[in-house]
Amino acid sequence: METNYNPFSLAGKTILVTGASSGLGQATAIACARMGASLVITGRNADRLQETFDQLGDESATQILADLTVKEDLERLLAALPHLDGAVLCAGNSTTLPLQFGSREKFDEMFEVNFFAPIELLRLMYKKKVLNKGASVVLIASIGGTHSFMPGNGVYGASKAALNSVMKYAAREYASRKVRVNSICPGMVDTPLIHRGTITEEQLAEDAKRYPLGRYGHPEDIANGALYLLSDASSWLTGHDLVIDGGFSI
Ligand SMILES: NC(=O)c1ccc[n+]([C@@H]2O[C@H](COP(=O)([O-])OP(=O)(O)OC[C@H]3O[C@@H](n4cnc5c(N)ncnc54)[C@H](OP(=O)(O)O)[C@@H]3O)[C@@H](O)[C@H]2O)c1
């Protein structure tokens, strides 16, 4: 019996994680390193990106500061990227913004970071052949794209629904080079993101009770899904939106 059988191994793979300075991106980068991948991590905050870097335990990892909504930063990041076997595009934001308090400017900001930035990065990584044949790309969407999970998140949800839509078209287009594109749709996960807004800790605790498995997600719950999608264990899976939400959307 083979003892080191592990179809989820990422040994030998080079993987980019955006949004690696916090939350889901940080947990994903650390999990990928633990599964043997070489990491390229990016974020905006130098101190927190360094914290992630220090936890990778891999001196050969690379960290690149970039604001993905700034064209020059995106181009600089692309120019610095090695050939990749995988990418997890986690960078994003969410603001509870009821329509009555919104504005076109604020909606554009939401779409810039949650939709246009990852789609542009995906498009250019494929076009410039940064993505190796057989690479796997994971977009972080949200159950907000299909469910009214929290009041005031309509435009956030729309940005994630749009992301999921392009994910499916990209999966079809990029299959010719055997590049897979999938997404993860998390429910509420305990990261700094959910504590920054206008929702109180009491409201969050009450909301968590609506989850059949009795809690919000841990960042590792999402990171583990990303490991599967990045690994050869999912090599026949593309164009799929993987819901990881403790049963919320049942
Ligand atoms: N937490 C949840 O409940 C939940 C649920 C569903 C989906 N999501 C999605 O999961 C993703 C990660 O969220 P999170 O919970 O991990 O949030 P988080 O802890 O706030 O982390 C967000 C990350 O995105 C980066 N980022 C934001 N704007 C950026 C920009 N313009 N350019 C480059 N990087 C940028 C941040 O970088 P800096 O900190 O360095 O600025 C940070 O690393 C987001 O797309 C979010 O919508 C989260």
Q: Which pTM value belongs to this model?
A: 0.98
Q: Is 191 in the pocket of ligand 1 (CB under 6 A)?
A: yes
Distance 182 CA to ligand 1 centre (A): 18
User: Rounded to whole angstroms, what are the CA distances from 133 to 81, 163, 239?
Assistant: 16, 22, 16
Q: Is 145 in the pocket of ligand 1 (CB under 6 A)?
A: no
Segment-wise mean pLDDT, segments of 10 residues, the chain, 250 residues: 88 98 98 98 98 94 98 98 98 92 95 98 98 98 96 96 98 98 98 92 96 98 98 98 98
User: Rounded to whole angstroms, what are the CA distances from 26 to 43, 178, 200?
Assistant: 10, 27, 24
Distance 19 CA to ligand 1 centre (A): 6
pLDDT of res. 3: 79
Number of Cβ within a 10 Å radius of residue 176: 7
pLDDT of res. 145: 97
Q: Is 169 a catalytic residue?
A: no
Of the candidates 245, 163, 162, the residue with the CA atom closest to the CA atom of residue 211: 245
Assigned CATH for 14-244: 3.40.50.720
d(CA 200, CA 45): 25
Q: Is 192 in the pocket of ligand 1 (CB under 6 A)?
A: yes
Distance 191 CA to ligand 1 centre (A): 9
d(CA 202, CA 163): 31
CB-based contact 142:188 (threshold 8 Å): no
Domain extents in the chain: 14-244
* Residue to mutate, 18, 52, 73, 94, ligand 1, most ligand atoms under 8 Å from C-beta: 94
pLDDT of res. 197: 83
CA atoms within 13 A on the CB side of 42: 26
pLDDT of res. 36: 97
pLDDT of res. 227: 98
Q: Is 17 in the pocket of ligand 1 (CB under 6 A)?
A: no
pLDDT of res. 205: 96
Number of Cβ within a 10 Å radius of residue 164: 18
pLDDT of res. 1: 73
